[in-house]
Amino acid sequence: MGRGQPKDVFVVHSKREEYDRRTVDSLAGLLLPAGFSVWGYSDWDWFKVRKEPPTWQDDLMSDGYLLDPVRALEDPTPRRPKQVDRDRLDTVLSHSHAVIFLNPSARGLSDGMKEELWSLRRRPYRRDPTMPTPVLLWCAFEGDNCEPYPVEDMVWRANLRLHVRDGLVDPTSLKNILLVLTALLLEQRVEYVQGQSSRAQGLLSLLFCSADQELSRASQVLTSVMGHNGETYPSLVQHGEALAVLLKRYRAVDLDDNRAGR
């Protein structure tokens, strides 16, 4: 999808923590082959391009750089503080069907995660009323007792734990995230379709993949994940059954829409 198109998933995580980065890479290794679109750093720029010269307020923000004569003598070239492009970040988050928040293994939010959390709290999705409210998934490594951060009127639809085995994230935990995400996105689509009071086929094709594609994706995910032993990971069975119910409901809704000519 292009830079202006919505995508399925935005993952908030600490890029500087290698363990977290590897975990997200493993999760993306499940999402992408399953047909999910995922925002990456190549899709947007963190910082604004500053065309105007720095002001005294900029210098003050730079820890008083020009106001410190010692530092000024060491390097007389003024440094321009980088400003996060919050407008672009808001656009990316508001054009995400789901946001997965991975609480860092280091137990401290990076500066980038703070910016992304701040954007969620500012409710960027309000800027485009045609976009469905993104579903939020809170994920944390086992042993992390931190409660999900509040995001005002949005709610965390799932609180998932990543189990660690021999220093590595249990692949079954990642597949559980895949299953829960698939169910929540399917539920989001069903609710969005049922909430349309007029013809919305053009809007639906812009916001989502086709109904056939989404049904096929959900069915494939359900088939691949439910091959695991439910006795050792019972939540797989629970979420798999929930997804199966949603698939039946979605097929019924899609059939009704086709009969109505939507």
Angstrom CA distances, 83 to 11, 49, 68, 95, stand at 21, 8, 22, 22
pLDDT at 227: 64
Identify the band that residue 220 occupies on the pLDDT scale cut at 50, 70 and 90.
confident
Which of the pair, 201 or 63, is modelled with greater confidence? 201
pLDDT at 31: 92
pLDDT at 39: 92
pLDDT at 158: 92
Average pLDDT, the chain: 77
Q: Where are the domains of the chain?
A: 7-45+83-260
pTM score: 0.79
- d(CA 107, CA 35) in angstroms, rounded, equals 31
**If 0-12 CB within 10 Å is exposed, 13-18 middle and 19+ buried, where does residue 189 land?**
buried
Domain 7-45+83-260 -> CATH class: alpha beta
